[in-house]
A and B are shown apart, each in its own frame.
Chain A
Amino acid sequence: MEVALAVPPDIVFIILATITLLAAILALQAKELIYGAIGLGISFIGIAGFFILLDAPYLAMLQIAIYVGAVVVLILFTIMLVRREVGEEVIEKGERGEGAAGLWIAGLLAVSIAGVAALAGPNLASTPPPGQLPVSALGPVLVTEYPVPLVILALLLSAALLGALMLAKVER
């Protein structure tokens, strides 16, 4: 009796997708905002798992360090800026027509995915694309072949920083 100890990639993908989706649903539906932030953090970790499955380990680490490490902290801080009584109910369920909107968007997504799958034909594979991206290859490529995006990134980050500083300054 032979048992494969290495798990086939599809099962890992399904588990990761389930975790990510459930966390995202938690992030949207939670009554306490903190639970929403935690759900967001877990879904970010799930996406990092997807990066690992796609053979891009450095991107996965980048995702965890930046998103789960910094952005979730920022979101938590912003949540605590908002004063809210414990157990406050905002809007009753069903008033905003959320069920109908959800069904409509799900239908649109299903039609578009089916269309893409039909156009792709028999080449729709479930295995990750070939080719690895080790860090030793990613590092040089990132710096040599994309100098303009680097500079634009620097300008973008500076703009974000200055904007936030302006906001914090006016609030005095």
Chain B
Amino acid sequence: MVNLPTNPADILPFIISIITSHTFITLVIFPGLIHLVLASSFLTWYERKLLARIQLRIGPLYAGWPGGILQPIADGVKLIFKEVIVPYKADRTLFTWIPLALVFLGTLPFAVIPFGQNWVIANLDVGLVFVFATTSIFPSMIIIFAWASNSKYPFIGGLRSLFQQVAYEIPMWISALSVVILARSLNLLDIVNAQAKIWFIIPAFLSFIVFFICVMAELERLPFDLPEAEPELVAGWYTEASGVIFMALFLALYLKLYLMSTLVTVLFLGGWWGPAFLPQPVWTILKTMVVATFIIIPRGIYPRIRVDMLIKLGWTRLLIIALGNVFLTLLIVNSGVLSAWGL
């Protein structure tokens, strides 16, 4: 359905027409590959700076003039040239390729997340379930990677990560169900459009709290830091990763942070709706950065949660609060209280 040019003089206009097509721009530039790599690198720098200010230090300072902003690039270059040590009798193939698969999985859900009315790569009707389905593959890959590095610390860390992520995925899904009931659609573009008059954080406030806590647990962020318990387990399930493999894992983890922050924004904070003096994607990114700030800050403040309290919190309290909020949302929608805002 595309006419390839036969005349050599036509090749340059043809390439230009492909590059400026909307599909290519969304795929590669925004919200595509370049934006994702830049955003996750920026998040690594942002986290280090933020935690440093909380802990009364300065953070990255020397790489790049305005406050060490080129630090992620310096880290990347350093990690590429470091030696990759595969542990003795570890499974070399799995050890090598699972981090790559994790990066792949981390970028895949961004194909359906809308950053603006026209800024979505693939507007799927099952968008929300697509995001949840792909993020549910993470625990199995983590446990395989932990098994593949033939070492005790990663194995224990991997198991802890598995139980933690598995425990907090269900309350996450059920609190997103409240949003689905309010918006009556699984299409993320429709969900954001339904928040034109009122952001879903207001009718579904309890769901927002549950979702936020589950997001922090999914990302293995303090206070849910057990899989990466530094005084106990060195570095948890990625202890043995070094060099390029660690860079891939690091990229995957921060991609997941960006993904979850964007998901909170799209589901609860109204996506791109805001006063019109800023373009729509800028609003989305601003709100995402605010959410990411609130996810990063507890890392500098709170102690770690104990494992039995973690399991109790995930399986009992959060699940029941999420279910309760689903019924509350049902009653609200049924009674028509929100019809003034078009819900």
Residues of A within 8 A of B91 (CB): 32, 34
Residues of B within 8 A of A136 (CB): 125, 185
Among A3, A41, A134, which residue has its beta carbon within 8 angstroms of that of B4? A3
Q: A41-B140, A57-B125 are in contact. Are A65 and B94 (CB under 8 A)?
A: no
Question: Is B229 on the interface with A (CB-CB < 8 A)?
Answer: no
Report A160 CB to chain B, min CB distance, Å. Answer: 16
* Chain A residues within 8 Å of chain B by Cβ, number: 29
Report B147 CB to chain A, min CB distance, Å. Answer: 6
CA distance A120 to B276 in the complex (A): 61
Q: A57-B125, A64-B134 are in contact. Are A80 and B1 (CB under 8 A)?
A: no
CA distance A4 to B94 in the complex (A): 37
Report B114 CB to chain A, min CB distance, Å. Answer: 17
Q: Which residue on B lies nearest to A65, using beta carbons?
A: B133
- Tell me which residues from 1 to 42 in chain B have a Cβ below 8 Å from any Cβ of chain A: 1-4, 6
- Tell me which residues from 74 to 96 in chain A have a Cβ below 8 Å from any Cβ of chain B: 76-77, 80, 86
Residues of B within 8 A of A65 (CB): 129, 132-133, 136
Question: Is B243 on the interface with A (CB-CB < 8 A)?
Answer: no
Question: Is A69 on the interface with B (CB-CB < 8 A)?
Answer: yes
CA distance A102 to B124 in the complex (A): 41
* Contact between B125 and A61, CB atoms less than 8 A apart: no
Report A74 CB to chain B, min CB distance, Å. Answer: 10
Q: A61-B130, A135-B126 are in contact. Are A68 and B137 (CB under 8 A)?
A: yes
18 contacts between A and B (CB under 8 A): A3-B4, A5-B1, A34-B144, A34-B147, A38-B144, A41-B140, A57-B125, A62-B129, A64-B133, A64-B134, A64-B136, A65-B129, A65-B132, A68-B136, A69-B136, A73-B166, A76-B140, A76-B147
